[in-house]
Chains A and B, each alone.
Chain A
Amino acid sequence: NAGVTQTPKFQVLKTGQSMTLQCAQDMNHEYMSWYRQDPGMGLRLIHYSVGAGITDQGEVPNGYNVSRSTTEDFPLRLLSAAPSQTSVYFCASRVLAGVTGELFFGEGSRLTVL
């Protein structure tokens, strides 16, 4: 199993550009989520999904969109990038939704917005 795979690992954007961060997991996990990590701020939840076709907002959803058309994939879209979105983004999944347990993280995607 590859676990949770994120692409790209690094990306530089100009303000106003759009892009999609890809996340895929091969563990048949029901729950998937996106976090952003900024220095001194810990990990903050952006969006999450409890199953295919179901998504919801986390703590810091503004400026981001998500979709979950399959169990495996959970892409994060930035429609109009802003410098405040410069961060490291982590996708994470868990076996069951609505039940606490271990979160499996991807390797992260470092995004810089100029």
Chain B
Amino acid sequence: GENVEQHPSTLSVQEGDSAVIKCTYSDSASNYFPWYKQELGKRPQLIIDIRSNVGEKKDQRIAVTLNKTAKHFSLHITETQPEDSAVYFCAAPIEGGSQGNLIFGKGTKLSVKP
């Protein structure tokens, strides 16, 4: 079955710097890769996702890149702000996505220092 590894587990940056979080997956049939943001004490919320037919997707200060050959995808946050401080989770479909179930990485706690 699918396995998702996420690195780093913690990341501290200065405000205005960029942050990069990387995930690797094992199932070459996986075709959908979302990223969720969870603020302290809140619910996870989708911030961006990418499907396997594209290599990069951007939404303002966030972007996701996908390398299907190497089986990894990354979240890039530019010009970080204190409100970007949260735990970020990557995910990939279990069982190649036949039921739409997701397996999540263990999360990256991002701290943005003003």
Contact = CB atoms under 8 A, between A and B. Distances in A.
A87 to B, nearest CB: 14
Interface string B99-113: 111111111000000
A74 B106 CA distance: 25
A97 B101 CA distance: 9
Interface in B79-109: 89, 93-94, 97-107
B106 A97 contact: no
Given A90-B43, A100-B32, A108-B43, A42 B106 contact: yes
Interface in A52-82: 56, 58-59
B100 A100 contact: yes
Contact of B100 (A35, A42, A43, A98): A98
Interface residues of A, number: 28
Interface residues of B, number: 26
Contacts of B31: 100
Contacts of B6: 42
A103 B44 CA distance: 9
B44 A105 contact: yes
Contacts of A100: 31-32, 34, 93, 97, 100, 102
Interface of A: 31, 33, 35, 40-45, 48, 50, 56, 58-59, 90, 94, 96-103, 105-108
24 contacts: A40-B9, A41-B106, A42-B89, A43-B44, A44-B104, A45-B101, A45-B103, A48-B101, A56-B99, A59-B103, A90-B43, A90-B44, A96-B100, A97-B100, A100-B31, A100-B93, A100-B97, A100-B102, A102-B34, A102-B46, A103-B36, A105-B43, A105-B44, A107-B43
